[in-house]
Amino acid sequence: MITRKNSFSFRYKLAMSAIVLIGVIAAAFAINAQGWLGRNAPIQAVTTLDGTAMVEVSQQAVRQGLLNAKLALQPEANRMRRRLGNRFLTQGNSISTLVGTLTTGGQSQMVRIVRGYGENGESISIERTGNLPSMSWNDNTGALVNGAKATGETRLMIERLALDSADQFVLAQLRGASYRTIARNARPAEAGDSDSYRGPVWDLISIGEPKRLADKAPTSASRQYYVNTSTGLVDRVLSQENGQTVTAELSGWTQVGNERFATKIVWQQGSQKLMELVINNAGIGNRQ
């Protein structure tokens, strides 16, 4: 005769044995199911592709998502990049090439400016005719001449060409620059409160540089961009050089394919004209 206690113990052991048996069967089924899925799931088809190509496609997708996420962080910059064209909506392998005439100190020479960017920021190369030294700028090194640190007027020239642009309005955020709205719908002081004013109206956006070593950081700690409220494009950029305000006036906005470029930039300090860039040809390509 089985006592109540022994009966309960027997039933408990029987139940546990049943659970273990079910677990073994389920595990076996899972292993078989995984093996079947492993043989028949579509993902296995990619093993016939080149492994390196698979990795590159995956990395490209990651880069594209990461870069677009970074460029969308600042609402003002996000709107600007869509105004400028497809070059800021891709995975970051586009380069723009600008060819024109650069005039400084009354002397003119042909110039070729190539701008390229990725997740780590922008890199710019500047080549001039007449066996003049090559110039460059990027977020990590700052202004360079033939690979060495640029100084004096040459450094200022490189920084103007690199930073007084709508492209940099978009890309400055990649190096941690800050964006601050100073004013909305601003008008020239001479317009006053006149109801008859029909000239341009701007949103004023200040972009502040992150703290860096002096030889890598731009000379001007910030730049003030005048964004035309009608066109959504940059009309003017203000910076500081040796305690003086330098104004870059951007004009002649032209569309080439799906891209927009300013074809003329004039830099002035007060009434003194410092330099001028006139673009004759512009285009977009891909990194080789």
pLDDT value for 64: 57
According to the per-residue pLDDT averaged within each range, which of 57-61, 82-86, 194-198, 227-231 is highest?
A: 227-231
How far is residue 135's CA from residue 143's CA, in Å, rounded to a whole number? Answer: 7
pLDDT value for 118: 82
pTM of structure: 0.76
Task: For residue range 161-196, list pLDDT tens digits in order.
Answer: 999 999 999 999 999 999 999 999 999 888 888 888
Handedness of CA 227, 228, 233, 238 (dihedral sign): negative
Task: Report which of 73, 68, 65, 76 is spatially closest to residue 169, judged by C-alpha positions.
Answer: 76
* pLDDT surpasses 90 at 131: no
Domain 59-286 architecture: Clam (2.50)
What is the three-state SS of the chain? CCCHHHHHHHHHHHHHHHHHHHHHHHHHHHHHHHHHHHHHCHHHHHHHCCHHHHHHHHHHHHHHHHHHHHHCCCHHHHHHHHHHCHHHCCCCCEEEEEEEEEEECCEEEEEEEEEEEECCEEEEEEEECCCCCCEEEECCCEEEECCEECCHHHHHHHHHHHHCCHHHHHHHHHHCCEEEEEEEEECCHHHCCCCCCCCCCEEEEEEECCCCCCCCCCCCCEEEEEEECCCCCEEEEEEEECCEEEEEEEEEEEEECCEEEEEEEEEEECCEEEEEEEEEEEEEEECC
248 bridge partner residues = 237, 267
Beta-sheet pairing, 94-104 with 272-286: antiparallel
Q: Are 74 and 179 in contact (CB under 8 A)?
A: yes
Task: For residue range 138-155, list pLDDT tens digits in order.
Answer: 999 999 999 999 999 999
Which residues does 267 contact at the CB level (< 8 Å), separation at least 6? 160, 164, 246, 247, 248, 273, 274, 275, 276
* pLDDT surpasses 50 at 38: no
How far is residue 173's CA from residue 167's CA, in Å, rounded to a whole number? Answer: 11
- CA distances to 78, 155, 222, 253 from 137, rounded to whole Å, are 23, 9, 17, 24
Instruction: Tell me which amino acid residue 226 is.
Output: Y
pLDDT value for 17: 52
